[in-house]
Structure 1
Amino acid sequence: MDITASRLRELRKSKQLSQEDVAKYLGITRTGYNKYESGDIKPVRKLNELAILFNVSVDYLLGREESTLESKVRDVPPHISEQLEKYLELSKSGKDIVDITLNAVYEQENINRQRPVRQLP
């Protein structure tokens, strides 16, 4: 399977879409879209639409660049990599707890960043 085909399949699954969903979005048949994911044909005329749907660049779909996440993960310090490995070994309920906690801390820090700094008189 070529890189475009594998990336299309991976992106579609990560968005929890069916091949039928993507085909409807593109205005083609499911069989036609299946040929993109199997690598039988390249989605030349539909690349821009696919990039928009999956929120990636055309260069990413074509394998000319890594995703932003891939480049960040490659350069993480060892302690973060260890934390990620621990997270991946957690049960679903364990991951849910970590996700809730992380989202709460992230939202609080965003709120703190947006608060205007009070000027002293």
Structure 2
Amino acid sequence: MITFKSYLGALMNLLSRIAGKTILIVGEADFLPADARNALAALKAAVIGPIVVSSAIQRLTEEQLFDAVIIDVTIPDEAMLWMNEWLEARRIPFIFARNRRSQAAPGGFVLSGLSSDMKPIVATLFGPGRPDIH
């Protein structure tokens, strides 16, 4: 049974990892559900986007004003490979995700405001001993 105390402890652990971080979201305008944006804001993270692939590639090459990137698994393969290589070379943590509306899209994390979806995203991007790519 989950107690309020254990829930609060888990929430504080997530908060300590993500608070003050800026996350770039790459995907179509409807990729980031409102509940996921609200969950990230409640965890004190700043969100940029979602921005479409062409704008993301331009933004990535011009500046780095983010701590991690969440990329829609449905972007074109060439763009996915380019971003993967670019982010890996700069050791910027990133994940591929899908939102709940894209159940047909396989793979990646589920981007929603549910704690069960948000915990693995935060742990993977900002957890101790995390690898740089996922």
What TM-score results when the alignment is normalised by the length of structure 2? 0.21
More helix per residue: 1 or 2? 1
Structure with max Cα Rg: 1
The structure whose RCO (Cα within 8 Å, separation 6+) is larger is 2
- For normalisation by structure 1, the TM-score amounts to 0.22
Q: Name the structure where strand makes up a greater proportion of residues.
A: 2
